[in-house]
Amino acid sequence: MTIIAPSILASDFSKLGEELRSIDEAGADWVHIDIMDNHFVPNLTFGPPIVSMIRASTKLMFDVHLMVEKPETLFLALKAAGADRVTVHPEACVHLDRTLTQIGELGIKAGVALNPHTPLSVLEYVLDKVDLVLIMTINPGFGGQSFMPSMLPKLRQLREMLKRHGRDDVYVQVDGGINRETAALVKEAGADSLVAGTYIFNHPNRREAIASLR
């Protein structure tokens, strides 16, 4: 079954609680929360206090995508705010293995996000510490960008790599430019967790939007 994780980056921040309840009622599986620091990516969103404030609006799992430098400085606050998974970019972690260990020690799930240019080989020795690999299908920083079809072979190679390591249980997530058409392509290539912002939040019927991705 494909997991659908609406990205609240595309929601109306002036009524985040309502937006969360809306996607919950529309059948979302997880909430994808994009934290950006204007250093690792050229955009700025919000931090743990906002995550904590919206935690009461839904019981859905909080899937936090950290696009920040020194992500380890946020782990404790994010755990306290109710994050269920924290996904980091290897380029932001001097010691990726240590960073993933720190997340695990807090009792939350850990993910690794790969930018379009980042090779799968960075995962080779840390796969035992992750429950999700995020293949970025855009360059991170903004919603509303176009899906990169060049990431489809990467998804297939990741699936093979996970099989080789006996880690078929690891979620293969995609993020960026996901809509009804691109969802079919990424699922065929091995993705089982789909992040979508613009497509779901701009759709006149969010329930239909989520169903069409699944």
- Residue ranges for the binding site? 7, 32, 34, 65, 141-144, 175-177
Question: Which positions from 153 through 212 interact with ligand DX5, judged by CB under 6 A?
Answer: 175-178, 195-199
Query: Shortest Cβ distance from residue 95 to ligand DX5 (Å)?
Result: 23
Tokens representing residue 93 in the block: 């972690």
Question: Among residues 82 and 116, whose Cβ is nearest to ligand DX5?
Answer: 116
Residue 162 contact among Zn ion, ligand DX5, none, beta carbon within 5 to 8 Å by kind: none
Whether the CB-CB separation of 22 and 212 falls below 8 Å is answered with no
Question: Among residues 136 and 162, whose Cβ is nearest to ligand DX5?
Answer: 136
Query: Shortest Cβ distance from residue 164 to ligand DX5 (Å)?
Result: 28
Residue 120 contact among Zn ion, ligand DX5, none, beta carbon within 5 to 8 Å by kind: none
| Residue 65 within binding range of ligand DX5, rule CB under 6 A | yes
Q: Which residues are catalytic?
A: 34, 175
| Residue 42 within binding range of ligand DX5, rule CB under 6 A | no
Number of residues counted as binding ligand DX5 (CB under 6 A): 22
The footprint of Zn ion (CB under 5 A) covers 34, 65, 175
Summarize as ranges the residues that interact with ligand DX5 (CB under 6 A): 7, 9-10, 32, 34, 65, 138, 140-145, 175-178, 195-199
